[in-house]
Amino acid sequence: MLRMISIYDRIEAADERCREIQQELDNQCSPKDTQSLTGEYTWTVGVIIRLCDELLETELEDVYGEEVDFRIKLTHFQENYQNILDDTIAHV
């Protein structure tokens, strides 16, 4: 469970960075900055998706408890970022 928390902390940090990048993009950057930030955003979204995969592939320790709820929330979180990645790729 401790390993799951560590990975989740990295997911939260990446999520925060995505929000920061989105704010920077909303502040009308130069085209060069926009391209760089979009690349970083896409990469960070990919990291979130991979880390979610890593967590979701671990074996359940608590089949009926909080871990199941956590995995459901994590699945929705991952699906949201997968949709963002798909939309970003579609617009490139």
Task: Output the pTM of the full model.
Answer: 0.80
The per-residue pLDDT for range 53-89, each reduced to its tens digit, is: 988 887 767 666 777 778 888 899 899 999 988 887 7
Q: Sketch the domain layout of the chain as residue ranges.
A: 2-90
Say if CB 32 and CB 57 are below 8 A apart. Answer: no
d(CA 74, CA 80): 10
d(CA 76, CA 10): 17
